Amino acid sequence: MADARPALLVVRLHAEPFDPLALLAGTGPGGGSGAHPGGWCGGLGLDSPAAEAHFIGRVRGTAAGGGVLEALELEHYPGMTERQLQVLAQACAARHGVAAVLVAHRVGRALPGEALVLVAVAADRRGPAQRCGGELLEALKHEAPFWKREWSGGVGTWVEGNTPLG
Amino acid sequence: MSVAGTGLTVQVRLFASLRERAGWDARRIELAAGTTPEGLWRQLGLGDGAIPATVRVAVNQAFADPHQPLAPGDELAFLPPISGG
């Protein structure tokens, strides 16, 4: 059953590498001690939601053309990007009746293996948590202003579009 | 580029590949009344003809209709294909 209360939303952009597992544990972007009881949900004042869905996307090691990827540059539109992420998370959370959504996204120059995106959803049931997480991830790939540039062999190439869902 | 005395001044922003192709990222431009993003795209020579289907328009940091006339003080952005996540 859908939760009637508005969902709690957290949207963060990280200009430096962030540890998604530390964010989930409630210790902040850089990790360290002092995990919040109940992790990120506890930090929002939510008591142990019955279901959580998490997705972590990382920078792959190969460029679209097959070469070795040296770095991935992520440009965004300061102000609009944060606002769009909020709008998309709010709408998705309301559609699925979930309790909380956390979106963290990297900007700037990222290296292979580093986290690009974290989407976490807390809900009363696994179905809404998983559906909301998947839908929000696809929405932000197409509706939040981010642009990727792959650096390979010293050459930067703007990525036009997204990788397939697979 | 200016149209004297119209009072319709907007800020235009370009991102990513569009910015690099044009060679600038932001400009304040005075326009004729009734100018639309579509008209400004042509006026600025940002591409041949109409705005391509892959390019989206944002006005005041929200997606907008390219045929809606601009208002004084608007921030207009042309957004190349998005690739987030």
**Shortest CB distance from B80 goes to which of A80, A142, A147?**
A147
- A144–B84 CB contact, under 8 Å: yes
What is the pLDDT, as a whole number, of residue B17? Answer: 95
Number of H helices, E strands in chain A: 4, 8
What is the pLDDT, as a whole number, of residue B5? Answer: 62
> Is B83 an 8 Å CB contact of chain A?
yes
Q: Which two tokens stand for residue B75?
A: 């921030």
- Catalogue the E-assigned strands of chain A: 8-14, 51-58, 71-76, 100-106, 108-110, 115-123, 146-152, 155-158
- B80–A160 CB contact, under 8 Å: yes
What is the pLDDT, as a whole number, of residue A160? Answer: 84
- A162–B83 CB contact, under 8 Å: yes
CATH dotted code for B8-79: 3.10.20.30
Could you tell me the CATH superfamily of domain A8-158? Molybdopterin biosynthesis MoaE subunit (3.90.1170.40)
Degrees, nearest 5: CA angle A44-A45-A48: 100
Q: How far apart are CA B83 and CA A30, in angstroms?
A: 26
Using beta carbons and an 8 Å cutoff, which residues of A are at the interface with B?
A: 57, 74-75, 77, 79-80, 83, 105, 116-117, 137, 140-149, 158-162
Each domain of chain A, given as residue ranges in start order, spans 8-158
Q: How far apart are CA A144 and CA A147, in angstroms?
A: 9
pLDDT digits (tens, 9 = 90+) for B24-79: 999 999 999 999 999 999 999 998 789 999 999 999 999 999 999 999 999 999 99
pLDDT digits (tens, 9 = 90+) for A24-69: 998 866 545 567 778 999 889 898 899 999 999 999 999 998 999 9
Which among B30, B52, B84, B21 is positioned nearest to A80, based on CA atoms? B84
Contacts of A156 in chain B (CB under 8 A): none
| DSSP code for A67 | S
A77 to chain B: closest CA residue: B15
Average pLDDT over residues A6-18: 96
Q: How far apart are CA A14 and CA A116, in angstroms?
A: 9
CA distances from A116 to A119, A150, A159, A163 (A): 10, 13, 15, 14
Contact A38, A99 (CB under 8 A): no
In chain B, the N- to C-terminal Cα span, in Å, equals 37
- B83–A144 CB contact, under 8 Å: no
